[in-house]
Amino acid sequence: MYTPYNFELGVDLREQITLCDVGDIFTIPANNEKSFDQISKGIAHIFSSGAFPIILGGDHSIGFPTIRGVCRHLGDLKVGIIHFDRHVDTQETDLDERMHTCPWFHATNMANAPAKNLVQLGIGGWQVPRQGVKVCRERATNILTVTDIMEMGMDAAVDFALERALDGTDCVYISFDIDCIDAGFVPGTGWPEPGGLMPREALYMLGKIVQNAPVCGLEIVEVSPPYDVSDMTSLMATRVICDTMAHLVTSGQLPRPEKAAYIHEQANMSVGMGDWR
């Protein structure tokens, strides 16, 4: 859908970094927990190799097992989470399962991913459940609504996100839910919400964050091609991925001459495996 070259950034991804599609992680339909185990093992393997993981979804429930996979190779270090979304996704359960409304409740239960370092950008509208809001207040997470961002300005919003996500952490993981974008631009998603960020706004903030933080991974989620119109949503998701890689190149984070210092060789398989019920 795109060439590897971006005129504005002066980056050619094919020439400047090595790209590899490792394919799909095998999941088990209707068995969330076993699928989570598979995802965590796959992400841990990729992350520990020194490669920069980019995960494509799919249901946002994968946010928990992807972070768990990263945390297994952080040792005692910590990761901040910057989350673009219209929804907080901090409930403990949904229909008695860990689902797309629940990843950050369980991710921030892990010592490597403190709740105080969870920053959520673009929250708002009529699909933010009270159960999740209650958790955010109890755990003192950080939320900026679209209105907050418009009133304070995008640069100030980025500064806020970086300050909170990097407070005592060693790297930052970016979770980009496509429905943070106004529904008029991304029809191909399961939970469209009018009033979201404009594509230019989201890409601007994403770029500033990547340029100024040690980013350890990216996921782009809630893209549903069967719901899409003229590939609008898929094009936006691809732009998020390509822009992130380009900013990693221009900021000197890619290519990596060696593994990032926060990656530990030894895996801690007990991370995130406690009884959650």
Closest CA to 45 of 63, 27, 64, 68: 68
Is 85 annotated as contributing to ligand binding? yes
177 is in an annotated binding site: yes
3-state secondary structure of 116: helix
- Beta bridge partner(s), residue 81: 118, 173
CA atoms of 277 and 109, how far apart (whole Å)? 13
Please provide the DSSP assignment of 87-101 as one string.
S----S-BTTB--TT
Angle at 76 between CA 249 and CA 140, to 5 degrees: 85
Distance (Å, whole) CA 277 – CA 140: 22
Is 179 annotated in a binding site? The answer is yes
Query: Cα(165)–Cα(188) distance, rounded to whole angstroms?
Result: 29
Angle, CA 82 vertex, CA 18 and CA 137 arms, to 5°: 160
How many whole angstroms separate alpha carbon 116 and alpha carbon 81?
10
Dihedral over Cα of 273, 111, 100, 211: its sign: negative
Q: Tell how strand 5-6 and strand 11-12 pair up.
A: antiparallel
Residues forming the annotated binding site?
60, 85, 87, 89, 177, 179
Binding residues for Mn(2+), by number, are 60, 85, 87, 89, 177, 179
